[in-house]
A and B are shown apart, each in its own frame.
Chain A
Amino acid sequence: MDALKTTLPYIISGISVGGQYALIAIGYTMVYGILRLINFAHGDVFMVAGLMMVYLAASLPLYLAIPLVILLTVALGFTIERVAYKPLRTAPRMSVMISAIGVSYLLQNLALYITGGLNKNYPAIPWISDRISIFGMETSRVTVITPFLTIILVAALVQLINHTKIGMAMRAVSRDFETSQLMGIQINRVISATFIIGTFLAAVGSILFFTNYPGVVPTSGAMPGLKAFVAAVFGGIGSIPGAVIGAFIIGIAESVIKGLDTILIVNGAIDEQIGLATFSDAFTFVLLIIILVFKPTGLFGEKSTDKV
């Protein structure tokens, strides 16, 4: 019982972080699935969504600010695709990737210019940032809501992909870009839809993430973006359930490793600190290397079917 009580907070916080990573990871994995592009700017779009909220909530009531933030973030994702990626549709894949890196730095530096590099306090959203107590541990409501909201959104997304016309088009495009074009699928519309869905989820993820960890700086998107990317690769890039499961695994593992010293000490396994917490980030990236070595397609990734 005691062991459970000391371990539970780490698991819950890990699940919550995992849910937030999952929402970002879907954006990476969907774009990759369709364009074979790693959208490096995705993490920064997430950060910009956070900043928009800071500025909009200062002048608008929250019930207006939240939908507006989501709308503007989606518009940003759409614009980035149209301006920075679409003109490079026929260019080598590397060019698009470099363009993505450029957009990433552009967003970071714009944010640096606007905020002056200072930490911006994220507005507290009533109800979801309230303090609650579950199983004798104190936390905020958002920690508990995140995983459920993530699963609901992912379920809806899977429905959309499997049972709608645009979803079918997306699946077709991810199979074969050129052939689906020949079959009359309007490729630009499909790609835009992908970016819209991806950034929508990133915007929701940003609201949850920053409500939980209320500080936005220009580099706020970098680490969560990177972790979400690792999650997407871990789960098999291109696979939505894979990205979600990968994100949860990474979130929980990270959180447990940070507390492992304490868990072991409290349960009497070791006597003093051994400094495991330091390796929480290293673990994520070691995991990435291991999965790339032993199962390059990730947990749920499809075997590549490049035919010569």
Chain B
Amino acid sequence: MKKVLSLVLVLAMIVALGASAYADNPVVKIGVFEPQSGDNGAGGKQEVLGMQYANVLTPTVEIDGTTYDVELVYADNASSNDKAPTAAQTLISSGVSLVLGSYGSGVSIAASDTFDAAGVPAIGVTCTNPQVTAGCDVYFRICFLDPFQGTVLANFAKNELGATKAYCLAKQGDDYSGGLCNYFIDAFGKDACVYEQFPEGTSDYSTYITNAQNQGCDVFFSPVSTEAAAQIIAKADTQALGMPILAGDTWDSNVILQAAKGTNVKICVTTFYQEGADPDFDMGIKYWMNNNPTALANNGGNDELAAVTVMGYDAYYVALEALKAAGSVDPADVLEVLPSVTYEGVTGAIAFDDIGDALRDSAFVKECNTELGVWDFVAVATVD
């Protein structure tokens, strides 16, 4: 009896899998390689939102005279470097023409070999570590890089905040926060920085706050995941940190806004997009989110726009441009034309250099308004 039952269950699953929908148009698949869980789950979901919105607006693409339906294929890399290659392989096996993602540099680096071996091009959306594209022929990206971002933040800390000693906190083994901290330290001056790392699974950040206070630092730089950020902000508030917190693009998220609302902590971040730069776009995506409960939940329950969402939106159109230019859905053809693809996106003009990095030279600096729980625009930062 049990055997029969389990057999029936297995059969039911197979039938369910096989019965996926048939569309009229031929389908081109774009892989979405993003964390949907783990440390960076919140950010990954927000980045995906941009792609989904773009997909709703432009569900088809004309490739070589044929109209294709664009299907987004998702794979959760779970914010984990171990799981990233498997997720990448899942996408490749499902026959995607190219891949978008990921949020978080570590997973992108971990998966780059897999994409490389399969010859499937990938467009990094907000992975800012230089190693993502360096040494990988198939990885491109549309965002600025950490050496640039680290320098911008260090200059901001020195010149605008008047800081002389910085406390830098990274997650152990995390390419994004570790890399960004190193670039920040390079630009700020090694002797004026205290650099510490916390291990995976840490929940007690109070000691790091105490460390920063005891060492007499006057700026707290912690470009870590939003999960850790929420905890750090809570502790900074209860322990009266007494210095501004600086972070990179990761912190431009409403997770941070929610955590910081009503607290007495000054938070500044660099980011890719400032809400209000393109009011039509802002209005459109907010309307879509507010009418789509799942999207709203994935955005953290309100319609505050994260820069990564906007980057995800632009990335989708860059992918469409690449498909159009290639005139084929074969990953090899897409890879061939990708270096020459250009696109005028919501976040600015996008073009690639020799390594496959985006040519970008400016970042937005924002400060958290802890009273209202929104971002206030501070400055557009560039590096000479």
Contact = CB atoms under 8 A, between A and B. Distances in A.
Q: Which among B201, B238, B240 has the greatest number of chain A C-beta atoms within 10 A?
A: B238
A265 interface: yes
Interface in B310-332: none
Contacts of A162: none
Nearest to A109: B37
A121 B259 contact: yes
Given A117-B37, A277-B196, A258 B227 contact: no
Contacts of A49: none
Contact of A223 (B36, B37, B201, B238): B201
Contacts of A13: 204, 206-207, 210
B204 A214 contact: no
B210 A9 contact: yes
A261 B240 contact: no
Nearest to A254: B204
A140 interface: yes
A212 B215 CA distance: 24
A116 B293 CA distance: 14
A150 B364 CA distance: 48
B207 A259 contact: yes
B230 A121 contact: yes
A220 interface: yes
Interface string B44-75: 01000000000000000000000000000000
A138 interface: yes
Given A116-B37, A262-B211, A214 B42 contact: no
Interface string A1-29: 00000100110010001000000000000
A273 B195 contact: yes
Given A214-B234, A215-B230, A266-B214, A139 B197 contact: no
Contacts of B300: 118
A117 B38 contact: yes
Contacts of B199: 278, 280-281
Interface residues of B, number: 44
B281 interface: no
Contact of A10 (B194, B203, B210): B210
A156 to B, nearest CB: 27
Contacts of B197: 275, 277-278
Contacts of B37: 112, 116-117, 218
A217 B210 contact: no
Contact of A119 (B36, B227, B238, B298): B227
A215 B227 contact: yes
B297 A116 contact: yes
A255 interface: yes
Contacts of A118: 41-42, 45, 300
Contact of B203 (A112, A218, A220, A261): A220
Interface in A144-167: none
A116 B231 contact: no
Contact of A213 (B36, B41, B204): B204
Contact of B215 (A139, A266, A277, A278): A266
Summarize A's interface: helix, strand, loop or mixed: helix
A219 B238 CA distance: 24
A89 interface: no
Nearest to B225: A119
A131 interface: yes
Interface in A210-265: 212-215, 217-220, 222-224, 254-255, 258-259, 261-263, 265
Contacts of A129: 238
Nearest to B211: A262
A143 B234 CA distance: 14
A185 B277 CA distance: 74
Q: Which among A138, A139, A220, A223 has the greatest number of chain B C-beta atoms within 10 A?
A: A138
B226 interface: yes
B142 interface: no
A13 B38 CA distance: 26
A119 B255 contact: yes
Nearest to A218: B37
A277 B231 contact: no
Given A219-B201, A220-B203, A262-B214, A119 B226 contact: yes
A222 B38 CA distance: 13
A138 B215 contact: no
Contact of A116 (B41, B202, B234, B240): B41
Q: Which among A222, A277, A278 has the greatest number of chain B C-beta atoms within 10 A?
A: A277
A131 B195 CA distance: 28
Given A119-B42, A261-B211, A262-B214, A17 B204 contact: yes
Interface string A275-308: 1011011000000000000000000000000000
A262 B201 contact: no
A259 B210 contact: yes
B41 A138 contact: no
Nearest to A259: B207
A139 B196 CA distance: 22
Given A117-B41, A266-B215, A258 B201 contact: no
Q: Which among B37, B45, B230, B298 has the greatest number of chain A C-beta atoms within 10 A?
A: B37
B239 A139 contact: yes
A252 to B, nearest CB: 11
Interface string A47-83: 0000000000000000000000000000000000000
Contacts of A254: 204
A139 B238 contact: yes
Contact of A255 (B204, B227, B240, B297): B204
B198 interface: yes
Given A277-B208, A278-B172, 9 more contacts: A10-B210, A140-B238, A215-B227, A215-B234, A218-B37, A262-B214, A262-B215, A263-B214, A266-B215
Closest 9 pairs between A and B when the two form their complex, measured CB to CB: A117-B37, A223-B201, A117-B41, A258-B207, A138-B240, A262-B211, A213-B203, A9-B210, A119-B227
Interface of B: 35-39, 41-42, 45, 78, 172, 194-199, 201-208, 210-211, 214-215, 226-227, 230-231, 234-235, 237-240, 255, 258-259, 297-298, 300
13 contacts: A17-B204, A116-B297, A119-B255, A139-B206, A143-B206, A209-B203, A212-B204, A213-B205, A217-B38, A217-B39, A258-B204, A261-B211, A275-B197
